[in-house]
Amino acid sequence: MEKKVNKMKDHLKELIRKNKDQINQMARNNTLTNKHGLTVSPKDDPYRNEIATGKMVTA
């Protein structure tokens, strides 16, 4: 199982490496910014008032 996971990770890394510019452009196109170019959350975002704890939740 570990070999499969590592192989999948390697494939994902390669996919990201090959498509980095497209991925960055998609992220920019889907990110709301204000007039100063700073990333902002829309007022109707359900996560707008969430407080980040820095803790990763795992299943």
Where do we find the tokens 């204000």?
34
Identity (one letter) of the amino acid at 36? H
Q: What is the C-alpha to C-alpha distance for residues 40 and 24, in angstroms, rounded to an integer?
A: 17
Q: What is the C-alpha to C-alpha distance for residues 31 and 57, in angstroms, rounded to an integer?
A: 24
Does the global pTM surpass 0.75? Answer: no
**Model pLDDT for residues 21-46, shown as the tens digit of each residue:** 999 999 999 999 999 989 888 889 88
